[in-house]
Chain A
Amino acid sequence: MDFLRPASWEEALAAKAEHPTAVPIAGGTDVMVEINFDHRRPEYLLDLNRIGELREWEVGEETVRLGASVPYTQIMDHLRAELPGLALAAHTVGSPQIRNRGSVGGNLGAASPAGDSHPALLSAGAEVEAESVRGTRLIPVEEFYTGVKRNALEPDELIKRVHIKKADGPQQFSKVGTRNAMVIAVCAFGIALHPATRTVKTGIGSAAPTPLRARAAEDFLNAALEEGGFWESGKIITPSIAKQFAELASGACNPIDDVRGTAKYRRHAVGIMARRTLGWTWEQYRGTARTLEGAA
Chain B
Amino acid sequence: MRVNFTVNGRKQEADDVWEGESLLYVLRERMGLPGSKNACEQGECGSCTVRLDGVPVCACLVAAGQVEGREVVTVEGLADFAKQREESCASGACGSGGTSLQAARQWSAKGTDSQTGEGEELAPIQQAFIDAGAVQCGFCTPGLLVAADELLERNAEPSDADIREALSGNLCRCTGYEKILDAVRLAAARQDRQGSGV
Contact = CB atoms under 8 A, between A and B. Distances in A.
A2 interface: yes
A288 interface: no
| Number of chain A interface residues as a range | 20 to 34
| Number of chain B interface residues as a range | 20 to 34
A101 B49 CA distance: 12
Contacts, number: 87
B169 A94 contact: yes
A1 B18 contact: yes
B41 A28 contact: no
Nearest to A26: B66
Nearest to A73: B55
Given A27-B61, A28-B61, A98-B43, A181 B168 contact: yes
A102 to B, nearest CB: 9
B72 to A, nearest CB: 14
B42 A47 contact: no
B63 A97 contact: no
Interface string B40-83: 01111010010000011110111101101000000000000000
B36 to A, nearest CB: 12
B17 to A, nearest CB: 9
A233 interface: no
A100 B56 contact: yes
Nearest to A180: B168
Contacts of B57: 97, 100-101
B147 interface: yes
Nearest to B20: A35
B58 A37 contact: no
B66 A95 contact: no
Contacts of A182: 44, 168-169
B14 to A, nearest CB: 13
Contacts of B65: 3, 5, 45, 47
Contacts of A5: 65, 68
25 contacts: A1-B18, A1-B19, A1-B20, A3-B63, A27-B61, A31-B63, A32-B43, A33-B43, A35-B20, A35-B63, A36-B22, A36-B60, A37-B42, A47-B65, A94-B169, A95-B43, A95-B46, A95-B168, A95-B169, A96-B56, A97-B169, A100-B55, A101-B57, A101-B62, A182-B168
Interface of A: 1-3, 5, 25, 27-29, 31-33, 35-37, 41, 45, 47, 49, 94-98, 100-101, 180-182
